[in-house]
Structure 1
């Protein structure tokens, strides 16, 4: 026997010395790639002290489990994970899988305690005589302890300590393993092991591995499949069949022969399994990770941003992000795939990814705030004609662009303020093609504001118009004068109550003279949700994308839910709906966007120099806002050098450019939904909350002003002289007219006759 006998005797002497301290501690040496001289130097006294000082219990971290984000119909939006893992109980793991892993990793698992002394001794002798580690001596329990310590490690130093080749680490693992065997049954330990183990190619735990490699479940694994997975645990990368099919087969067959050697399977089963294909690469199921690989990446990013704001998921955003990717959460959202598809179809029909202009649409459900769809023309990515910006949301969220100026869509809030003040829907204001508001006072919430040089004009119809007519034609000079009568505080307050603020700065919208023609930067999400409030008869609901949040045990986690309040009186909203419905009538700026038999209301918006155009509108069931804009600084006129749907933009208006996007999306989204109607405004709203207005025609302006002030009205005398049968320099008429009356305390403008009939 010569050298072989001498090596054996040396191994026995070394083992006996180590067992002098502890049988358990000594046996650990079999798994270490160190010379046995080091063991002698370690010393039996030191070993004993180390064992006594070790902790008694292993505090394991819950294994990282992937989380899922789901659409409203339960379909998958995205999977988020640090480790792709789906834990399952042992009862849902096939018996042949359990037998395969025990056979190859710890065949006496059910017969020994935390340490397999017989197996360790066998490995010790084989390793010592071979001069290297050829066979491990760690039991399944010890392996589970090591995996748990690695899983628990938060830093590079902790990970190094969990994997370093030292006696101290092996002793630590052993002491923990002893504690584990006292606390848990063998089946419980095996279940934990199979759910924690790395099975290669990004699959952690046997369930995820079964799904990934075979598109099956852990419960349905066959013998050759189980043998392959069992073989992967030793070297998940080296035996990964997607890396090296030949080496994976060799390892699988080693497992099968070991199972045969132990009598777990028959010779025929072994031979049949060896002949079976290793994997069908066409069936490999890649579980995509993160929002970038989602069908709805921008919506998904917004959902994740909202989750990272939720303190119930952790103390800091970093803690929340980690929990989101490891906590096995189920995130249910408001996204409706059918409505999302309708909005996406509109984007596809009216834009191209190569366009220089961008288009975006958000759809919201009135009365709930549920965000049903969120789409845009530029796809998610960092390549050419792609973007990481979400053009639908505020700048405060990951990737949020921060909105665009929204033009005349702000007129809706001035309408609401006027109706709330008691002005009738028939309220007339003389609205010429251009007016001079330079230096004119506009009341704000804190005082007054002026614009020293402001001469706005109309791009549509002018004249002595009612509120309904002015909305139909989007007459600028009417609404500017209307906002002078309401003051700026009321419409600004209503806008804020309906969720409108500056999406860039997150500050309130400025109360400036041109408020009604557009102010600040707003998003499609904000605007669609604000208009949804009108559709819901004044009930404002905070936008909701996360409808439920469940932990891995299906227990609810606190998350902001549907939050609604009556922001404006129902009868005020009814009046706004009636006025904005006129926009959709023939001759209105939205007249060509009408469809079907739906009750529709809406408003166009075009900002100065056509740098962005909007259409926001709604039915009782859904509200949507569409924007087309230049998203590159400095912003430029859409008419010059910009394309949409691959063509030069020739009609950069809310109705001509943004309107068709809104129409196509809404028509498809509303298809199949119940036909609901707006509530008609009450007589009080239609006629206004008016007081009698004393007739003053033919009187001197000063006398007329005194009469009107005594009746409780504010008065201004216009500098403009008008044609009238009344004598020159006497009152021609007032606005509003005496026959119409006016709300108490409202502004009455006196027009003076030029004496020309």
Structure 2
């Protein structure tokens, strides 16, 4: 036996006896062993330690932890000396005395295994164990994992070859540090620091003797000795470690006895690290952040690689969310809705000039239970959790306003806006031609009349804005909306240029709408919605991230004009007049879609912009007026101001507390009065002559269907809209009203 072992050691085949009975050695020829050894690489290529990552809010507070293995690496001097002695005592007591292979331990294991005829004892050194754990960690397929754990001479020889290389490259202390950070300590704890936090709510540096002994005992069988699985087995194993430490004179008899009397764990002090967005502080927001991270090529070539790196790279992800503003928005949801309501409410708050998403809340909680959902009602459908928005009604009027002001129309631009108009077959210019609706007779739900742009916005007069969009064409407002980040959030496609564009088109989200309105607040500076502001790796080195991205999408003076017009909405008599508060400069717009399937309020100050929606989030969508509840009460009259407005108001009022009072920039005289040119006088001319005169002056012309009473000859032009003395921006649509005589 002794001679054989001596030869085996010299041949490098002894390692095979560590885990295989001696009887199996006879069939393993020296030549095969030599080939196996020579084919192995000289150095062990290890994977970076899988380290948990975390998402934090703008103020650095915790949002979520993401990991495949719950691990927090520490240096050896951050691990208590008693822990280091405990693991060496039970796993490799001669660790600091031998090289990569412990001949005595190997011989002891070999004799024990041969005596009983099966694998009963391993003789692997800590270095060899580290090699094995590293190979298992590196395995990506079932075959690789099997190769890393199979009971064979080849594997043991490979481990020995790698162990020799490791011992040449690293000191004993360095190997021990790697080992303690890599090891599985059971119940989801990887590495000694995470284990100390999990089982004892402490750090590796502060581990006591009985705590260290328990953790040292876990490494051999993390599941079998897990105290949460079998307390008795865990105690027996811990006490074995303590007795071994006493045998080696690492602790006194009294220390061992006192430690053995100590309870294994106090379950009330155990600390489970929540994993994933489902266990996050803000689960919906967290999932949206992760979706954006998975789009970042700096984290990997494919989404799968990025997901792996995100959960193993020890990243710190700084997000945009402001816990104070988030709490304000959540308080509004809590005040004005209940999760048991049949209607759903959602609010997003964005910072103008940065695009930073400061809050994202909804009334339906995260989960699979009744009245819960996994859908985020604030965001687009381009990722798995995105609901894809709702039709947004008259909040689209803001973009027609912007197009009209950009075209040079004055803020006092008047259009006769009766309660109902007939637009059947009327042509509206698009970016690619013309469109029309063969049967379209829209009407107002509010006041009509001969209104200015400011009046029409104040009352949300449909017939005014439809006629205004006929004058601007549909291409201009659609282009502005697109520049401000508006698109169909379900189809992920441009908004349709249809006749009813100004009354709502496609499906948009609270995030999208609040950010678009934030552009007006920022005087035309559009910033893409941003939820990730910075990413650092485990070494605190920055990783490239898209971050804040802004551009001037609208002339500042045009945005100033929009702000002035939408401020009128929140003045007394306006549809948002009841939502005004404090001394803030406020602007906003209501939105109610056809059949009351969704109601909106979007508004802003120079500090913050927010959009609130209340909707039926079930398919098919139904009228909120019938059978739907909000805050436990039947919704009897769903409106943007009365239903969604209070959600917006409460959220914004509380979110703005403590912020500096900032003002909108007043519009210039040119914006207020418009960039107009004189109209040639055409009263009394035939329609053909009048049209030619106006077209030569640079205007477009249409003729009103209904003739008007006038002193001008029948069939000639009675007057124009706009009137001759008002003028109009070049290229504007001029309507000719023909006389029916004075009778």
TM over 0.5: yes
Distance in 2 between residues matched to 1:612 and 1:723, nearest whole Å: 43
Which residue is 2:532 aligned to?
546
Which residue is 1:263 aligned to?
249
**Greater CA deviation, 179-188 or 717-726?**
717-726
Distance in 2 between residues matched to 1:115 and 1:587, nearest whole Å: 88
Q: Is the 8 A contact 1:443 1:488 kept in 2?
A: yes
- Deviation of 1:698 after TM superposition, in Å, equals 4.8
The equivalent position to 2:234 in structure 1, one of 244, 248, 251, is 248
- Deviation of 1:709 after TM superposition, in Å, equals 3.0
The equivalent position to 1:572 in structure 2, one of 540, 558, 567, is 558
Which residue is 2:222 aligned to?
236
Distance in 1 between residues matched to 2:208 and 2:325, nearest whole Å: 42
2:607 corresponds to 1:615: no
Q: Secondary structure at the match of 1:84?
A: coil
Q: Is the 8 A contact 2:570 2:588 kept in 1?
A: yes
The equivalent position to 1:199 in structure 2, one of 164, 185, 190, is 185
Q: Is the 8 A contact 1:22 1:48 kept in 2?
A: no
Distance in 2 between residues matched to 1:235 and 1:756, nearest whole Å: 104
Q: Secondary structure at the match of 1:98?
A: helix
Task: Tell me which stretches of 4 or more aligned residues in structure 1 moved more than 6 Å.
Answer: none
Which residue is 2:105 aligned to?
119
Which residue is 1:582 aligned to?
568
Q: Secondary structure at the match of 1:402?
A: coil
Distance in 2 between residues matched to 1:272 and 1:733, nearest whole Å: 105
Distance in 1 between residues matched to 2:289 and 2:10, nearest whole Å: 55
Which residue is 1:85 aligned to?
71
Q: How do 1:30-41 and structure 2 match up within 5 A?
A: 30-32=17-19, 34-41=20-27
Distance in 1 between residues matched to 2:93 and 2:325, nearest whole Å: 56
Distance in 2 between residues matched to 1:464 and 1:45, nearest whole Å: 102
Aligned length: 743
**Greater CA deviation, 516-525 or 274-283?**
274-283
The equivalent position to 2:469 in structure 1, one of 483, 489, 500, is 483
- Deviation of 1:705 after TM superposition, in Å, equals 3.3
**Greater CA deviation, 468-477 or 317-326?**
317-326
Distance in 2 between residues matched to 1:722 and 1:197, nearest whole Å: 90
Q: Secondary structure at the match of 2:707?
A: strand
Distance in 1 between residues matched to 2:5 and 2:25, nearest whole Å: 8
Which residue is 1:381 aligned to?
367
Which residue is 1:28 aligned to?
15
- Deviation of 1:130 after TM superposition, in Å, equals 4.0
Distance in 2 between residues matched to 1:582 and 1:517, nearest whole Å: 19
2:516 corresponds to 1:535: no
Distance in 2 between residues matched to 1:212 and 1:620, nearest whole Å: 46
Q: How do 1:441-480 and structure 2 match up within 5 A?
A: 441-480=427-466
Which residue is 1:4 aligned to?
none
2:351 corresponds to 1:365: yes
2:515 corresponds to 1:494: no
- Deviation of 1:713 after TM superposition, in Å, equals 2.0
2:4 corresponds to 1:17: yes
After superposition, the CA RMSD in angstroms is 1.6
Distance in 2 between residues matched to 1:547 and 1:655, nearest whole Å: 34
Q: Secondary structure at the match of 1:722?
A: coil
Which residue is 2:305 aligned to?
319
Distance in 1 between residues matched to 2:166 and 2:156, nearest whole Å: 15
2:610 corresponds to 1:624: yes
Distance in 1 between residues matched to 2:405 and 2:598, nearest whole Å: 28
Distance in 2 between residues matched to 1:513 and 1:668, nearest whole Å: 39
Distance in 2 between residues matched to 1:413 and 1:132, nearest whole Å: 80
Distance in 1 between residues matched to 2:666 and 2:524, nearest whole Å: 14
Distance in 2 between residues matched to 1:51 and 1:345, nearest whole Å: 67
Q: Is the 8 A contact 1:363 1:371 kept in 2?
A: yes
Q: How do 1:658-673 and structure 2 match up within 5 A?
A: 658-673=644-659
The equivalent position to 2:491 in structure 1, one of 490, 505, 513, is 505
Which residue is 1:169 aligned to?
155
Summarize deviations over 1:641-698 as a string: whole Å, max 9, x none: 1111111111211111111111111111111111111000000000000112234445
Distance in 2 between residues matched to 1:181 and 1:209, nearest whole Å: 26
Q: 1:97 to 1:695 in 2, by over 3 A?
A: same
Distance in 2 between residues matched to 1:708 and 1:431, nearest whole Å: 23
Distance in 1 between residues matched to 2:298 and 2:592, nearest whole Å: 42
Q: Is the 8 A contact 1:21 1:47 kept in 2?
A: no
Which residue is 2:706 aligned to?
720
Summarize deviations over 1:583-635 as a string: whole Å, max 9, x none: 01111111111111111101111111111111111111111111111121211
Q: 1:351 to 1:693 in 2, by over 3 A?
A: same
Q: Is the 8 A contact 2:22 2:110 kept in 1?
A: no
The equivalent position to 1:423 in structure 2, one of 400, 409, 424, is 409
Q: Is the 8 A contact 1:18 1:39 kept in 2?
A: no
Distance in 1 between residues matched to 2:37 and 2:606, nearest whole Å: 73
Q: 1:733 to 1:225 in 2, by over 3 A?
A: same
Distance in 1 between residues matched to 2:572 and 2:376, nearest whole Å: 35
**Greater CA deviation, 202-211 or 663-672?**
663-672
2:544 corresponds to 1:558: yes
- Deviation of 1:160 after TM superposition, in Å, equals 0.7
Q: 1:422 to 1:271 in 2, by over 3 A?
A: same
Q: Secondary structure at the match of 1:201?
A: coil
Summarize deviations over 1:188-231 as a string: whole Å, max 9, x none: 10010000000010000001001111111111111111111111
Name the TM-score, length of structure 1 as normaliser. Answer: 0.96
The equivalent position to 2:512 in structure 1, one of 518, 526, 529, is 526
Distance in 2 between residues matched to 1:459 and 1:314, nearest whole Å: 53
Q: How do 1:628-643 and structure 2 match up within 5 A?
A: 628-643=614-629
Which residue is 1:145 aligned to?
131
Q: Secondary structure at the match of 1:719?
A: coil
Q: Secondary structure at the match of 2:706?
A: strand
- Deviation of 1:572 after TM superposition, in Å, equals 0.2
The equivalent position to 1:50 in structure 2, one of 36, 41, 47, is 36
- Deviation of 1:257 after TM superposition, in Å, equals 1.4
**Greater CA deviation, 368-377 or 117-126?**
117-126
Consecutive unaligned residues in structure 2, runs of 5 or more: none
- Deviation of 1:21 after TM superposition, in Å, equals 4.4
Q: How do 1:255-404 and structure 2 match up within 5 A?
A: 255-404=241-390
Q: Is the 8 A contact 2:16 2:152 kept in 1?
A: no
- Deviation of 1:49 after TM superposition, in Å, equals 3.0
Which residue is 1:597 aligned to?
583
Q: Secondary structure at the match of 1:720?
A: coil
Summarize deviations over 1:460-510 as a string: whole Å, max 9, x none: 010000000000000011001101111111101000000011111111111
Name the TM-score, length of structure 2 as normaliser. Answer: 0.98
Q: Secondary structure at the match of 1:362?
A: strand
Distance in 2 between residues matched to 1:484 and 1:90, nearest whole Å: 74
**Greater CA deviation, 261-270 or 218-227?**
261-270
Distance in 1 between residues matched to 2:343 and 2:102, nearest whole Å: 70
Q: Is the 8 A contact 2:186 2:223 kept in 1?
A: yes
Which residue is 2:696 aligned to?
710
Distance in 2 between residues matched to 1:342 and 1:278, nearest whole Å: 44
